[in-house]
Structure 1
Amino acid sequence: MQMDREYFRTVRAGLGAAALLILAACQTPSDRTADSRRIRDSDSAAPYQAEVEEGLGAAVAILVDTSGSMNDDAPGDSRPKFVVAREALEAMLEATDAFVAKRPEFPIKIGIYTFSSGVSTVLPVQRYSHELVRSAMARLPHPGGGTAIGEAMRTARPELYRAGVFRKYLLVVTDGDNTAGRDPGEVARDIFRKSEGAVQIYFVAFDTSPEKFAFLKDVGGNVIGAGNGRELRAALNEIYQGKILAEAVDVGEREPRGR
């Protein structure tokens, strides 16, 4: 009797395995593709999750265009646009020193990325250091290649979720159209949806039409046009000091407003 029971258990297990194999064999390639697509869609629809515990503070990923056109002279200037942009960004970040001195309890974290046909991480998102930021700005590559705005946004976004702070920002400085990789409008909408509005996106359109980035209105972002170096500095200061640092005034908060 004991042997009979073991025999029948073995037979049932074998029949179950055979049934699974038959079902898998009967499934067409299109069925398997559809299943894979459903899994991917389910994963892609999930909201972003912070990889570390979050608290008070702001993380800013700065994305700098180093495509070939940034080597052209800036309007009204004999210097290339990338030099003018680098100096404007350095001046913008100088405001962090005074802010940190006044509010040391509110950490500011900065990351610097460049994009041409591809994306490079010059400085991963980390707590602001005057020396590290200056060194990173000095390492910005010489312009050349295409313009992968969307890919730069996709690269920097996960770093914001490793920064350990509630407030998250993408700040993009570019002078042209996206010519490589994912469309920035598509990426911006994806980020807006999955972050549930927690990632604020700002663009500065340097020597190009802000209308190219009208999609930002749909994701709670903003774009400011800058026709020359002076306007570029003003635009960056408006975003960085007027919005990003200004939102840090209420240091008693625990989450971004509106969440």
Structure 2
Amino acid sequence: MSFTDWTAASGSIFKVKFVGLYQFENIYAQTKLMGASGSEGMAFANTFKYAFAVTIFLNIFGLLLALVFNLPFKFKGFIRSAFFIPCIFSALIICFTFSAIFYPGGPFDRFLTAVGMSDFIRPWLTDRSINIYVISAINIWMFLGFTATIYLAGLKSIPGELKEATRIDGANAWQNFRHITLPLIAPAVTISMVLSLVGSLKVFDLPYLLSGNQAYVINSLVYFQMGNQLYAYGTAISLVLFIIVCLLAFPLLKVLRKNEVQL
């Protein structure tokens, strides 16, 4: 369908015409012509910013949280559950909650005012220069417990006697983590990195529900083009997104698998 002129005006699906790469040329032309200020350019730029921020910081914080969860302390099970709960809730509930928190004059703005930081108050969800980063932070908070659980499963698979042997040999905590823990949890790193990259590239719900058309991502563009009954153009954008996901996910998967080791 992305190689046709399919629109609502085409009538029957059998009346569409083959137009080759016209839709893809149109995507390129619109992105190049409008740049970052146009909807196409903004959608691609925001998607890459979002994917980079979520993939990197979600995995860093998730690993750090898993290391904390792996320590012996009281109420460990309760705290793990508390961090895991957000990813169970519907994205709609999460978005309504944070829309209320970041609403102008809402709890977050009042908190900044109370601590003497009123100069930093911004329209968090409507300012196009920062809203994609705010939404990225909400995504990281939402799936932090899930990511930590993946890393915790990897940490639990490391034999305790192996760590004890390294301590006897005089390795400090950093050396233990660098040469024992990190290589042995490499499969968990692979799973978490690929899942977070693919999920963040094809995101739609959080940007749309939190900011509408103020934080365009690629799937937002698909949604609005389909809503405008430009079916072929929307399908072409969706196919471009599929190609982007493949071009980024498969090389990442290959690179990360090279670092995996087995006991």
Instruction: From the two aligned structures, give the one with the greater strand fraction.
Output: 1
Larger Rg over CA atoms: 1
Instruction: From the two aligned structures, give the one with the greater helix fraction.
Output: 2
TM-score if structure 1 supplies the norm length?
Answer: 0.23
TM-score if structure 2 supplies the norm length?
Answer: 0.23
